[in-house]
Structure 1
Amino acid sequence: MEICSFFFNQHFLLSLLLLNCCFLSSSSSDLEALLTFKSAADSTGKLNSWNSTTDPCKWTGVSCAGDRVTRLVLENLDLTGSIEPLASLTELRVLSLKRNRLSGPIPDLSNLTALKLLFLSENQFSGEFPATVTSLSRLYRLDLSSNNFSGEIPPSLNHLTHLLTLRLESNRFTGQIPDIDFSDLQDFNVSGNKLTGQIPIPFSKFPNSVFGLNPSLCGAPLQQCPTKPGQPDGAKASPLTKPETVPSSPTSIQSKTKNDDNKTRISTVALVAIILGDVLILSFVSLLLYCCFWRQYATNKKKDSKVLEGEKIVYSSNPYPTTANNNHNQQGGERGRMVFFEGTRRFELEDLLRASAEMLGKGGFGTAYKAVLDDGNEVAVKRLKDAVTVAGKKEFEQQMEVLGRLRHVNLVSLKAYYFAREEKLLVYDYMPNGSLFWLLHGNRGPGRAPLDWTTRLKIAAGAARGVAFIHSSCKTLKLTHGDIKSTNVLLDSSGNARVSDFGLSIFAPLQTTAKSNGYRAPELIDGRKPTQKTDVYSFGVLLLEILTGKCPNLLETGHGAGAGGAVDLPRWVQSVVREEWTAEVFDLELMRYKDIEEEMVGLLQIAMACTTAADHRPKMSHVVKMIEEIRGGGEASPCNDGINSAAESSPCLSEDTCGGGTTSQ
């Protein structure tokens, strides 16, 4: 046994050593590749921070994950020569070498299987279209514009099914545009080449300008292609068939008829047997596939549903000026611009739209993304839906002015915004710890880490302070949140609750506002605008969600609520409490904690008070007091905002929030 144990330990240590060697060799290979590229390309010495004595992850333009290089952004640095050394950076996700003097053909990039963004524009690359690029199936953005590429555009581009950008303008490509259907393509340009023939129908949705300076191109959106004279009529064409030979003897005709009858009978029996056999085989195979792969499918689906897992590159708009925008400018309209609030680090719109991003979720007002800028800063970007109704630029800017000056430890700060006729973006602080919704409902089942009672109570108190601050920050406007729900309560790096998406309900269409999502007060069903009283109702539903662990909009009837159908969360809780099953209300995950029943009942009473008739609901400042008193005063409010004095004494906000002040840009 000792000998076996000895050999086992030796084998284990050897395995660890091999794994460590593999890891070190991977990171050292990245270092070697970067230094090789620097020695050949950096003739002007602009990469002076690149040396073997410093951490390569801190070099100019280099970003890492787990000691592997994942982003390389080296733009406008007068680099020359080939990029072949970079082809060994196998974990690279972003490669941007725009506006340099790099040359030669593109090397084999097939090892860069994680690459998602490839920007090589405004260089001196030559040769044919880089064939290995078409094997990078995860690619989202491809920009080879303003180089010296030649030859045809390969049909194998259809392998890039996730492509959002394809820019090939200002090269020397010839031949026809391949007939490829890129359903998600947002940004496309092949102008300034030598392309010929008809434009494929899938590309006809783009404007004329993206096909310009190709004299031999035709078809929509350009002029119609000429019809070739003398083209044969395809309808008259018929295939040549060999005539059937008919036997001349009557005996042979009779014999042939009998044989045909036998064949017909045999064919019918055989057909029935084949159908039955196919049905049995398909049923067996289907059952086998169901048994073998359902569990794996369900697991993968659950993983895919995680909001914060994996990386998905998405973009809110085209990072390049379009013809439509240029025409709009020429007609006297003002072009959109980024507007920053005080204390916000500036960046250009192109930097924001070029950044790699991860979709965080979709809400009633738009889609939210986590964007990582080139300098490593992380922001959250909300792209407002087209359905959001804005009367005009002045109305939008006035509302953003008010929202942008709200600063509180329990609010997600609005850092900047962008307004244009076709696009409206809001930029917020990024909250790294996700939402209350995910903490309550994510990954329910075995292996889940439950949300403990102390954390729930802390989140409830913090969210209450944030909403109370909104209500009392500008008394003349009577600001409201308008969309309180668990997905809009986020957690910062310290675990503090931060309320997001406040003040956007002013832009919501009436039919959207009136639609019940489980959080909306009953009076909003008539199409009325949200008020501070309706915010209190929504917050009460949020407290019930914290206590019960149930989604307000997915609740089915249970004890005391009648049979069948769905019911809103407040009515269900009231029915259970009325029939004296109060313990059944609380989330089973809370049952493991001792001596908290009194505190849970206290929070339940606050929640039920918030969800009563509008005239009997407490103010949010009073709700804050009641929650803080559950544990003998709770945490002190950092800005004294929960005691009806936010606007007067809070150091987080000045009086001119209600209308005055200016933004910086």
Structure 2
Amino acid sequence: MAASTSLSHFACFVSFLYFTCVYASSNIDLDALVAFKAASDKGNKLTTWNSTSNPCAWDGVSCLRDRVSRLVLENLDLTGTIGPLTALTQLRVLSLKRNRLSGPIPDLSNFKALKLVFLSYNAFSGNLPASLLSLVRLYRLDLSHNNLTGEIPASVNRLTHLLTLRLEDNRFSGPILELNLPNLQDFNISENRLSGEIPKSLSAFPESSFGQNMGLCGSPLQSCKSIVSKPTEPGSEGAIASPITPPRNLTVSSSPTSLPEVTAETKPENTHHHGTGKIGSLALIAIILGDVVVLALVSLLLYCYFWKNSADKAREGKGSSKLLESEKIVYSSSPYPAQAGTERGRMVFFEGVKKFELEDLLRASAEMLGKGGFGTSYKAILDDGNVVAVKRLKDAQVGGKREFEQHMEVLGRLRHANIVSLRAYYFAREEKLLVYDYMPNGSLFWLLHGNRGPGRTPLDWTTRLKIAAGAARGLAFIHNSCKSLKLAHGNVKSTNVLLDQSGNARVSDYGLSLFTPPSTPRTNGYRAPECGDDRKLTQKSDVYSFGVLLLELLTGKCPSVVENGGPGGGGYGSVLDLPRWVQSVVREEWTAEVFDLELMRYKDIEEEMVGLLQIALACTAASPDQRPKMNHVVKMIDELRGVEVSPFHDGSDSVTESPSVSEGTCGGGGSQ
């Protein structure tokens, strides 16, 4: 009894300490905000800021765990310094732009969690504080349009997460030291007093990032060599006088007509001025003529060489030549020809409409789109202008014609706004072709991972969430289309989520895992842990793979590494276990660290990102029984997006969108 009483007292004591700490922390934040308002809000714009109310409900203030985490006070004519705000130790976002705040930027070393800082269009003065450069978690730093002075210190390199660095329209001076910020995307130091050569690490940024700094040179501005070689050239823009060249008493105009005239009195005796000029002209004409003759001879030799080669190739490969034009492969015979001397197959179209014959497909110009585990895909442009995507199942392991036709019959009947429709197929003993609708906007993989770095247009949050919702609906439809077969996709990954002309997500390559040869390496990063060497793929393993895809959307990291090394045997040594990595970061209570740096530019999306992260973690549960069905995943994502869900909605689109699918067809009805 005594022990129980002691434990009760101890629990009460711990609770008391906790609430005392929380209350004390809240008071610190409250006092800091009240002090800032008293000193800076002369126009009483912050009307909701009342010392008797909860600061988390004030305009411009957001809280996390009862501590102020976001302070956004823009264009409010605030004055004075920001010193009182340094007590907000849990601040993550600070935006005070377009006010009249002044004085030096105070010591910000207490802001250990600070990620976004926007202080532009104020009147801050003094040097760039060292405390600001110790905030290693910063993603965005905008101090533009102020009165800051001094040099830009090399310690900026500590901010390795930095995506934005804007210092334009200040009074910074001196050289730009070598900056090594691998994630930097938005950079501007124009309208300062900087000088010297622009480091190569920054030369990829546009000229506007460096303009109106009279002493700067180097790419993308004027070459430093041209300035140094002509340091006193009159009339040249940005000319810099050389410190080792003595001043001249004679000023020479840049106009050639005003050069000092050489008269008979000043010209030395026995000069050969006219003769020298004549010889120089003749030599110049001879050089030009020689160059023209040499160029003509080289051109003639090259023409003969290439004409001979092309003639040889034409003789060797009449009727089956392949020409490479602007990275587009145009075939006079197809990249997927029917083999000579073998059984000829036929094109089978769904929905009862024949749109072209195999010969039309063979004559079409074809551009390779990519290679996957099931074969190679091509973009084919038919003679009538129609464009289709053709997948050649070169390495597919097909048991027999009847089995293949029955399975294609099931896949060909599926119609939904979020799947890529199978329009036709061709079967012969040596050749199997699948014809799909062509998706012009590429894959989610390319949108997420292609061309990262300066100049890239990031995939914004709204689009990512829309793609996630569309892909979820497409996958849920596949799962529910044939109840008796329990059809699974079998290869869910970002390269198999395509975008149509309207930007809607379309799931592709569904139902083909049945034909994967056992020796074919599968994409390790998306594979569910229960799918071993027997390659048993289920709807639950699809859910796991979809969860990895959601993590890919959230983190910007690519889990796609192939067993036995990289594509083509490149030998990539490591595999990113994305679910395990995310779980380890979340356990350390650094959830914000998992999100893609490109998403940090968008405001007020943290709640949605955390919500989608929770859905992804549920989908990637180690036990298949703990994973939600795709119907439920669709419903959760729709609720996250604020899409109204009908009380009768089960999370999947009605199978009536594909009226030709029936249980008879699922059971393997005959082909056309």
Normalising by structure 2, what TM-score?
0.49
